[in-house]
Chain A
């Protein structure tokens, strides 16, 4: 009898996880109802963001989110994979623990602290050193036009890439180390170099998991708020130049929520939150499935 009640209590607590997700979903839908009714699907393709008139569209934020997240991935993924390969396969034994520990520490640094550093170190670097350098070398691409004040899409992308790198790297390393040694030996015994052994025996076997790790990094980048809002310039417009200020779905909420006057304004922001919620749920679900497929039960840490 006591056993059953105990088990029931535990079960109820486990269901609290579902309750949390449902509650978030329901409340967001409820509170964004106004905006959904007013704008419908056009909300996601409209560039308007005019609190005065009461016209809201999320396209600039979708653009900002996509650009910063994808650029962050482009910057972070090669480096993260390189680090993972190094730690998992090439690193001498005594260095392994310190480097892994360092990566874990870096993943634990809060967003606001990264943002603080970005505001006072990265922004000046972007303004004075990196920006002019990019204009000189890659200016012809058209992505580096216009005034460069140090804040903007590129700076946000860079700080994002620094933030998602430890996650992608740690998870990739875990996945690589889960590949059985028999695979490595099979490749070596055919007469392969170390890199070929890594390529065929390890990376090839962990392809799916690595994609999952990258997607987890993407999921984190999509929702990252504080560091981004501190360096992105907070300007709801779409611009081709990476120097231009912008906004992401997360940063516009952080920036304007407190000042949102009027129910429609608030509702529009909450609808953006709902969109963010759904997108990150989908991305994370797919990512977890992929990682699970390779490691047969996702590790508790990570993201």
Chain B
């Protein structure tokens, strides 16, 4: 099962740029939460704070608390451990070009010392099925390189790769923005199926996408989280005028 995420007083900086200001929010377990907002509002930075990828940048800094279940991810665990438990899918698919599909998907498992052929095979099949890619590649697992697939397939493989290490949370940073509409809709279907097992946070600038897949939505603007509520409420009767302006297209 996925876990809920509690964020308290999160502030983040890139150098002297105060990218996130006083974010407080609770992401419920086993639901999909969408984060919307104009470009540069900090939603990607926020998501990267959830799996401690933000700190990989030498000039990046963050303060505040992020709790995954009972664990304070900044103080109670190592980044290595957190990043396994909080998977991430990026805007542009980034398969490992020198590895086959099979090797791509098991790469995370191998890091953790899993060598047993049976376990690896089972995990590959399970993950690719979860990512709705199994039927398309099951005959070429070891023959085709990860980079030889189409864009949409690559992204689904990256999702499978992230799922293979059994995370509790899946972060998706505009996962379909680089893909064609057919692939996009496949990925949205996926999210629908996966959210009952994982906690999903999806950053998107596509409001219709948020409305389609997420139960809850948060609206970010200029580093602050303006409003967080059920998707239905955000899109039909938002409390804050800024939210209303954004969703009606007055800016962004």
Contact = CB atoms under 8 A, between A and B. Distances in A.
> Do A and B share a direct contact in the complex (Cβ within 8 angstroms)?
yes
B101 to A, nearest CB: 15
A278 to B, nearest CB: 33
A7 B78 CA distance: 62
A191 B80 contact: yes
Interface in A174-188: 182-183, 185-188
B96 A189 contact: no
Contacts of A191: 80-85, 108, 111-112, 165
A162 to B, nearest CB: 32
B224 interface: no
Interface stretch (A41-49, A200-208, A238-246, A258-266): A200-208
A78 to B, nearest CB: 22
B161 A200 contact: no
A93 interface: yes
B87 interface: yes
A185 B107 contact: no
B123 interface: no
Contact of B111 (A182, A185, A192, A204): A192
B206 interface: no
A188 B107 CA distance: 11
Contacts of A193: 80
Nearest to B91: A182
Contacts of A201: 96
Contacts of A187: 96, 107
- Chain A interface, >50% SS class: helix
Interface stretch (B32-40, B50-58, B63-71): B50-58
Contact of B96 (A93, A183, A188, A207): A183
**Chain B: interface residue count, which band?**
20 to 34
A190 B96 contact: no
B51 A189 contact: yes
Contacts of A204: 96, 98-99
A296 B60 CA distance: 32
B162 interface: yes
B58 A93 contact: yes
B80 A189 contact: no
A50 interface: no
A256 interface: no
Contact of A185 (B56, B85, B108): B56
Interface string A79-122: 00000000000000100000000000000000000000000000
B94 A183 contact: yes
Given A93-B58, A185-B53, A185-B56, A190 B98 contact: no
Interface in B87-103: 87-88, 90, 92, 94-99
B210 interface: no
A189 B165 contact: no
Given A93-B58, A185-B56, A190 B97 contact: no
Interface of B: 51, 53, 56, 58, 80-85, 87-88, 90, 92, 94-99, 107-108, 111-112, 158, 161-162, 165
22 contacts: A93-B58, A182-B90, A183-B94, A185-B53, A185-B56, A186-B90, A186-B94, A188-B53, A189-B88, A190-B107, A190-B108, A190-B161, A190-B162, A191-B83, A191-B108, A191-B165, A192-B111, A196-B111, A200-B96, A200-B107, A200-B111, A205-B98
A-B CB proximity, top 5 nearest: A191-B84, A190-B108, A189-B88, A191-B83, A186-B94
Interface of A: 93, 182-183, 185-193, 196, 200-201, 204-205, 207
